[in-house]
């Protein structure tokens, strides 16, 4: 596997229809080579922008296909070799999590990370000879401290949590998931 380290990557989504109608101005600049995002306060143009550095940074012009190939592909490839992998999308409402993870059906370059990962895994399983696979996938939403299984029959059902040191186990009526909690300060 390429790396066992946690990587933090940011993608700046394009402005949505509402933002364009309101004639909002971009306040984020991205330096992809350095993995940096700079945010300019529009009410304080004389102040220097706030600068943030990540393991990777993608501008609005980058397509999901490129992000998948550079970030998710090595992780999913590791999964096909027997390692565990997690892609964790985090951000406020409207920040572009669904745009990146689920994507758009058209153009194909904007298909999301989830459909690409599923296709990758099942193509690998189909091509493997003399190997058996057990594929388990979880698609969980954590919102306002409620956890929901988005692959379950009832996506509105809250999963009950039993807290333990370092992990939380969720036991819906039909499934069992283990979720390792990562603390971020």
Select the more confidently predicted residue: 183 or 111: 111
Same domain, 99 and 178: yes
Do 177 and 105 sit in the same domain of this protein? yes
Q: What is the mean pLDDT of the chain?
A: 80
pLDDT at 182 (0 to 100): 34
Calculate mean pLDDT across residues 121-126: 88
Same domain, yes or no: 36 and 48: yes
- The total of structural domains in the chain comes to 2
Structural domain boundaries enclosing 72: 63-135+170-185
pLDDT tens for residues 126-176?
888 887 777 777 777 888 778 888 777 888 888 776 544 344 444 444 343
More confident residue, 28 or 166: 28
What is the C-alpha to C-alpha distance for residues 19 and 161, in angstroms, rounded to an integer? 38
pLDDT for the residue numbered 4 = 67
102 and 124 share a domain? Answer: yes
The residue with tokens 């990962």 is: 117
Same domain, 39 and 87: no
Strand intervals (E) in the chain = 9-11, 28-31, 36-39, 50-53, 56-58, 140-143, 146-149, 161-164, 167-170, 177-180
Same domain flag for 10 and 92: no
Comparison of pLDDT for 142 and 181, the residue scoring more: 142
Question: Residue 82: what pLDDT?
Answer: 81
Residue appearing with tokens 């998710």 = 72
What residue numbers does the annotated binding site cover? Answer: 91-98
Say yes or no: 56 and 131 in one domain.
no
Q: Which of 1-15, 91-105, 133-147, 155-169 has the lowest mean pLDDT?
A: 155-169
Q: How far apart are CA 146 and CA 141, in angstroms?
A: 8
Q: What is the pLDDT of residue 3?
A: 60
Q: Is residue 141 part of a domain?
A: no
Task: Check pLDDT > 80 for residue 47.
Answer: yes
- Statement: residue 34 has pLDDT above 80: yes
pTM, 2 dp: 0.73
Q: Quick check: 178 pLDDT over 60?
A: no
Q: For residues 99 and 180, state if they share a domain.
A: yes
- On whether both 125 and 79 belong to a single domain, the answer is yes
Same-domain status, 108 and 56: no
Domain boundary among 61, 81, 96: 61
In a domain, 95, yes or no: yes
Per the annotation, binding residues for ATP are 91-98
Residue 155 lies in a domain: no
In a domain, 6, yes or no: yes
H helix or E strand, kind and range, residue 23: none
The CATH number of residue 101's host domain is 3.40.850.10
pLDDT at 60 over 80: yes
């Amino acid at each position: 596997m390429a790396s066992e380290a946690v990587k933090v990557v940011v993608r700046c989504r394009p402005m949505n229809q509402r933002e364009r109608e309101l004639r909002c101005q971009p306040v984020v600049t991205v330096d992809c080579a350095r993995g940096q995002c700079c945010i300019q306060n529009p009410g304080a143009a004389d102040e220097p922008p706030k600068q943030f550095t990540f393991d990777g940074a993608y501008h609005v012009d980058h397509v999901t296909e490129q992000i998948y190939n550079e970030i998710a592909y090595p992780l999913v490839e590791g999964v096909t070799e027997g390692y565990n992998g997690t892609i964790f999308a985090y951000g406020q409402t409207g920040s572009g999590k669904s745009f990146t993870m689920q994507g758009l059906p058209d153009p194909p370059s904007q298909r999301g990370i989830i459909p690409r990962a599923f296709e990758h895994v099942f193509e690998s399983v189909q091509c493997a000879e003399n190997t058996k696979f057990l594929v388990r996938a979880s698609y969980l939403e954590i919102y306002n401290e409620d956890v929901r299984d988005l692959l379950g029959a009832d996506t509105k059902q809250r999963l009950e949590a039993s807290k333990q040191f370092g992990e939380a186990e969720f036991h819906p009526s039909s499934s069992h998931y283990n979720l390792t909690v990562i603390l971020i300060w």
